[in-house]
């Protein structure tokens, strides 16, 4: 018995609260443009994919298989809390990645709108719109698992959260791979 189950419980509660907040933010972002002609543009396609990914991470089943721990009830609670921590931590990680991708796509929409100034796209906009698309692709390519993991770790530490038993990035990636998309 290590006496850390209270810290584990608080950590899970913090992460679940973070994930819940991320879900609200993700759900609040539109995934359909007002102008139907923009439907297949890169930014709107990215926002639709984020909406799909957000639903998936919310709806995928939790892994409730917990190995039987030796050492009694407290050790069993420890094993269960560590399993719940991995699930919550991984969902928050994926939620943060979706949130960052949405933010990049929303910046793309703002930039595109400033280029078009309420006009339909035409040949005079081509160079600026191409730059806008390339900027979006660059931003999206920088939103890696490593970046998100480090960003969340830094944020948690700055808030003084207990992070001693946080899952590794590799564990998070295994958790994500074990939940294939159904779309």
- pLDDT per residue as tens digits for the range 69-93: 788 888 888 888 999 999 999 999 9
pLDDT at 64: 67
- The pLDDT tens digits for 22-58 are 999 999 999 999 999 999 999 999 999 999 999 999 8
Is there a contact between 176 and 130 (Cβ–Cβ < 8 Å)? no
Q: What is the mean pLDDT of residues 125-152?
A: 98
Task: Say yes or no to pLDDT of 182 above 70.
Answer: no
Give the number of other Cβ atoms within 10 Å of residue 54's Cβ.
23
Interatomic CA distance for residues 57 and 90, integer angstroms: 9
What are the boundaries of each domain within the chain?
Answer: 5-177
- The pLDDT tens digits for 98-133 are 999 999 999 999 999 999 999 999 999 999 999 999
Structure tokens given for 103: 């933010």
Using 50, 70 and 90 to split pLDDT, how confident is the model at 183?
A: very low
Interatomic CA distance for residues 113 and 136, integer angstroms: 14
Q: What is the mean pLDDT of residues 143-159?
A: 98
Task: Say yes or no to pLDDT of 63 above 60.
Answer: yes
Is there a contact between 163 and 10 (Cβ–Cβ < 8 Å)? no
Task: Say yes or no to pLDDT of 2 above 80.
Answer: no
């Amino acid at each position: 018995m290590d006496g850390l189950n209270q810290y584990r419980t608080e950590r899970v509660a913090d992460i679940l609260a973070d994930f819940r907040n991320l879900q609200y933010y993700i759900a609040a972002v539109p995934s359909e443009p007002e102008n139907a002609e923009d439907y297949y543009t890169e930014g709107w396609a990215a926002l639709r994919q984020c909406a799909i990914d957000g639903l998936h991470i919310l709806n995928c089943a939790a892994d409730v298989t917990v190995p039987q721990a030796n050492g009694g009830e407290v050790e069993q609670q420890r094993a269960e809390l560590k399993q719940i921590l991995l699930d919550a931590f991984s969902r928050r990680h994926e939620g943060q990645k979706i949130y960052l991708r949405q933010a990049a796509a929303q910046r793309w929409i703002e930039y595109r709108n400033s280029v078009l100034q309420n006009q339909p796209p035409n040949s005079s906009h081509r160079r600026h719109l191409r730059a806008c698309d390339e900027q979006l692709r660059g931003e999206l390519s920088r939103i890696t698992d490593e970046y998100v993991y480090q960003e969340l770790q830094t944020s948690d530490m700055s808030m003084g959260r207990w992070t001693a038993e946080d899952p590794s990035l590799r564990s998070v990636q295994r958790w994500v791979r074990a939940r294939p998309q159904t779309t």
